[in-house]
Amino acid sequence: MENIKLIIFDLDGTLIDAYAAISNSFNYVMHRLGLKTQSAGLIRSLVGWGDKNLLKPYVPKGDLKHALSLYRNHHKHSLLKHAHLYPFVSRLLRRLKLKGYKLAVASNRPSKFSHILLRYLDIGAFFDYVLCADQSRHGKPHPEMLNKIVKRFGFKKSQALYVGDMVIDAQAGRRAKINTVIVTSGSSSKPDIKREQPFRIISAISRLPELL
């Protein structure tokens, strides 16, 4: 893969483990609204589609706007307590920058929370561009975000690599016609990932340099 010049990363489940922060905020909302709390495992399986879609199946339609406000107010604090990087992430990003790769983020998280994570975990400076679902008409698995990032840098799609952790990441990469690497550290099972036939599947983000 000597031709790669741009590497686009998902955040949650790929570079960052924020599942405890998400579960904490989700169940805070359920408690405040007098609704049933859910297990961390179930909440983990719902992550990746954005916070509105996370809450929507569990909150009455008329309460969704209020629930989202409660979630977001709580989550900006929960992230600072419970989110952390996966092993070797900082070292990996530093190594990639030193080798001259352009680095970008494509996340279904709202921009506000993506930037909170990048600042708090001290990795924001590694990225040349960050694009989130609230800055696009469509979130993943639609290819729009990936297409916009590649276009911004003026590269060919053959010069880009996308790295995510979920089925929707594999789908987004395929629809954008960008080679996609899926890490099995996130919320999608390996059999589900395999069915999407991404370019490569790796067990940990630290294995990425082996492909470059």
Residue with tokens 């990932």: 193
- Domains of the chain, with CATH numbers? 6-17+85-211 (3.40.50.1000), 19-82 (1.10.150.240)
pLDDT reported for residue 47: 87
The pLDDT value given to residue 181: 98
**Which residues of the chain are under the pLDDT cut of 50?**
none
pTM of the predicted protein model: 0.91
What mean pLDDT, rounded, does the chain reach? Answer: 95
Q: Measuring CA to CA, how many Å separate 134 from each of 27, 150, 162, 178?
A: 24, 18, 19, 22
Map tokens 């594999």 to a residue: 170
- Residue 153's pLDDT is 97
The residues with which 164 forms a beta bridge, in sequence order, are 182
Supply the pLDDT for residue 50.
84
pLDDT at 187: 87
Position 196 scores a pLDDT of 96
Angle between helical axes of 144-153 and 167-176 (0-180°, round to 10) = 50
Per-residue model confidence (pLDDT) at position 101: 97
Report pLDDT for 49.
83
What pLDDT is attached to residue 118?
Answer: 96
